[in-house]
Amino acid sequence: MQDKTVKQNHNMILENRKSLSISGITDVDSFDDREIILYTQLGELTIQGRELHIDAMSVETGDMTITGDIWALIYGDKDKKGPISALGKLFR
């Protein structure tokens, strides 16, 4: 039996710390103008900065474009590939 799951690549391009293009997004957990938390093919990713805006997002392709003053890109647990349940958030 063949596995028909297509694994999408995860890439990031950061230009002048002002514009970030990301591929391989599976879900967005939360976002505001200082922090965006999302899930990629390779786990949780937190983007921190100031005046952050999600300019474009494609659910079909998993691509996203973010603009603002980008200060940090922080990867979390590699095994976390989806949203955590409400109970899981309590013990986080």
Contacts of 10 (CB under 8 A, 6+ apart): 22, 23, 24, 40, 41, 42
pTM > 0.85? no
Specify whether the backbone of 16 is left (phi greater than 0), alpha (psi in -120 to 50) or beta.
Answer: left
Q: Would you place residue 19 in the very low, low, confident or very high pLDDT band (cuts 50, 70, 90)?
A: very high
Strand partners, 14: 20
pLDDT tens, position by position, 33-73? 999 999 998 899 999 999 999 999 998 899 999 999 999 99
pLDDT confidence of residue 84: 47
Q: Return d(Cα 67, Cα 5) in angstroms, integer.
A: 31
